[in-house]
Amino acid sequence: MPPSDDLPARVGGLNDWYRLNSATSVLRHALTSPETGRLALVSSFGAEAVVLLHMVSVIDRTTPVIFLDTELLFAETLVYQQEVAERLGLRDVRIVRADRAEVARTDPEQTLHRHDTDACCALRKTRPLARALDGFDGWITGRKRYHGGARAALDFFETEEGTGRMKINPLAFWRREDMQTYMEENRLPRHPLVARGYPSIGCMPCTTPISSPDEDPRAGRWRNTEKTECGIHLVDGKLVRTGESA
């Protein structure tokens, strides 16, 4: 395991070195370099997830892939997850769910999302992911700057405050057009809900279609609220981007 006390310095150095490199170069380095340690890819198997999943399958299909099944997902997402994992030959997909006893105690009727979305996300995403990442030195995400909001200033490499882990965002600088082109050139299967107006797909109760192609791609997530992130990319409610060079 890489030493954690120099993580901000390593993150800054990696961002300086790879600033003009491609997403594939960043991902390949992350998966093969001792600087990054043992990594997992955390994937929603959502609207754009197949791009990064495909890249990982080409470089190292034994990479652990963590899929958070909140048990509130669209049925289409669950089917798509199985189809994509099989098609890409991913060999270590880990389906992670909330602690059964905790769910029975705090959300037995699956209604928590109606009055406290943050608590629901913490129960079904944040805490299960924290347990799943135990033992890993970092994790790979599919976040991109063009998503806007708190993601608009993403860099390739980040530190995760309080965990000593690194976060890698290989697609940080890609545009929506880049994603579409990659899917088309590699003939990758699309999430079926994309054709029905869902450019960003989360849990069924908290996701709606967008109203027009010009609307923010994440506008359908927690619509009509101030919430923009589920919490797995936040610490104390704030986006964490420490140790970056820009």
Which residues on neighbouring strands pair with residue 41, listed in sequence order?
65, 140
**Distance (Å) of CA 124 to CA 48, 72, 89:** 21, 9, 27
Per-residue pLDDT, 216: 73
**The dihedral of CA 108, 236, 36, 16: what is its sign?**
positive
Domain housing 56: 7-196
Q: Is residue 55 part of a domain?
A: yes
Residue ranges in the chain whose pLDDT is less than 70: 1-5, 220, 224, 226-246
**């669950």: which residue's tokens?**
78
Per-residue pLDDT, 168: 96
pTM for the whole structure: 0.86
Phi/psi for 169 (5° steps) reads -120, 80
Reported as a single tens digit per residue, the pLDDT across 51-90 is 999 999 999 999 999 999 999 999 999 999 999 999 999 9
C-alpha to C-alpha distance for 177 and 183, rounded to whole angstroms? 10
The CATH code of the domain that includes 35 is 3.40.50.620
List, by residue number, the catalytic residues: 230
Q: Is residue 218 part of a domain?
A: no
H or E element, residue 57: helix 49-60
Per-residue pLDDT, 4: 47
Could you give the number of structural domains in the chain? 1
Kindly state the DSSP code that residue 68 receives in the 8-state scheme: E
Q: Is residue 146 part of a domain?
A: yes
Using the CB atoms, write b or e for 116-140: b if 16+ within 10 Å. ebbebbbbbbbbbbeebbeebbbbb
Q: Is residue 191 part of a domain?
A: yes
Per-residue pLDDT, 238: 43
Q: Is residue 162 part of a domain?
A: yes
Per-residue pLDDT, 229: 59
Q: Is residue 182 part of a domain?
A: yes
Q: Is residue 43 part of a domain?
A: yes
